[in-house]
């Protein structure tokens, strides 16, 4: 069975997509089979992985089909693309922005993504990583309902902790009502620099989350932006400081998965 991890924080610009892509490629380098799912209408993960917009089936099509109980293995297979660095992925596009509309009348609408990701043909993946959109709503609820665990990237900047309260509320509601085995896999500090603010956020996260906080920190460096522009992961660059950090996060994740 696949381990399904949602990478989520409703605050934008915290490094969710960078984390999703580099964890995915890092896991592939560790010999794991990985499927990345782009659950953001902005489709940043799809672009990062090299997606060229065409008429291929995307996650929005799959959710419409699953909501109407019309999802087939053939449709699901048609949506899976292969990245040059070894990651399989299901792309997204702007049509996903209308998810509230096409899911509004669906039976058990918070389970729609789970119906997709629990299909038997996806059992060959060791990990399924969901790159969530930066907002609260039905798509995030679907991701958390489908997931075994959450990774929460948190930017080391002012107000970074404020949004976590709302995310934790959604997490607790889903855990209590629909997904009792859900857990927080880890909190990942991103965009760390040498300012007092970063240090204060780091201390606050350590005090609040303890061992749930990843030991590895991701620093603020321009190479992160360059990586997305070049559509090549940081972990594939042997000279990348951030790549080395994400490799360490990957190893931490594998160790946690064994516990």
Per-residue tens of pLDDT for the chain, all 259 residues: 799 999 998 877 788 999 999 999 999 999 999 999 999 999 999 999 999 877 779 999 999 999 888 999 999 999 999 999 999 999 998 988 888 777 777 778 889 999 999 999 999 999 999 999 888 888 999 999 999 999 999 988 777 777 788 889 999 999 999 999 999 999 999 988 888 888 888 898 999 999 999 999 999 999 988 998 899 999 999 999 999 999 999 999 999 877 5
Tokens of 116: 């997709």
d(CA 242, CA 229): 15
Select from 3.40.50.300, 3.40.309.10, 3.40.50.2300, 3.30.750.24 the CATH code of 3-257. Answer: 3.40.50.300
CA distance 94 to 85: 25
Q: How long is the chain?
A: 259
User: What are the structure tokens assigned to 253, written together?
Assistant: 């994740």
**Which letter does DSSP use for residue 237 in this model?**
-
Domain map (residue ranges) of the chain: 3-257
In terms of Cβ atoms closer than 10 Å to its own Cβ (0-12, 13-18, 19+), residue 175 is middle
8 A C-beta contact, residue 190 and residue 202: no
For 107, which DSSP code?
T
Output the CA angle 28-55-15, nearest 5 degrees. Answer: 40
**pTM, two decimal places:** 0.95
CA–CA separation, 67 vs 105, rounded Å?
Answer: 9
| CA quadruple 197, 187, 230, 42: dihedral sign | negative
In this predicted model, what pLDDT tens digit does every residue of 178-229 receive, in sequence order?
999 999 999 999 988 888 888 888 898 999 999 999 999 999 999 988 998 8
């Amino acid at each position: 069975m696949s381990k399904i991890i949602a990478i989520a924080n409703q605050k934008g610009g915290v490094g969710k997509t960078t984390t999703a892509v580099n964890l995915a490629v890092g896991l592939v380098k560790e010999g794991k089979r990985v499927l990345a799912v782009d659950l953001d209408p902005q489709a940043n993960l799809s672009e990062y992985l090299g997606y060229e917009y065409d008429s291929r089936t995307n996650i929005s099509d799959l959710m419409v089909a699953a909501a109407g109980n019309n999802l087939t293995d053939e449709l699901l297979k048609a949506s899976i693309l292969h990245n040059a660095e070894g990651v399989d992925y299901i792309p997204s596009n702007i049509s996903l922005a209308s998810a509230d509309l096409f899911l509004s009348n669906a039976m058990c609408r918070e389970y729609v993504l789970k119906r997709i990701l629990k299909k038997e043909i996806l059992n060959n993946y060791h990990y399924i990583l969901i790159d969530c959109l930066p907002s609260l709503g039905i798509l995030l609820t679907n991701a958390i309902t489908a997931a075994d665990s959450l990774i929460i990237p948190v930017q080391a900047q002012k107000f970074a902790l404020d949004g976590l309260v709302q995310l934790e509320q959604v997490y607790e509601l889903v855990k209590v009502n629909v997904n009792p085995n859900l857990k927080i896999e880890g909190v990942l500090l991103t965009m760390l620099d040498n300012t007092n603010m970063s240090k204060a956020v780091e201390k606050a996260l350590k005090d609040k989350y303890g061992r749930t906080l990843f030991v590895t920190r991701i620093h603020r460096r321009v190479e992160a932006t360059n990586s997305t522009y070049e559509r090549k992961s940081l972990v594939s660059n042997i000279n990348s400081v951030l790549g080395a950090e994400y490799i360490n996060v990957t190893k931490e994740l594998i160790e946690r998965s064994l516990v």
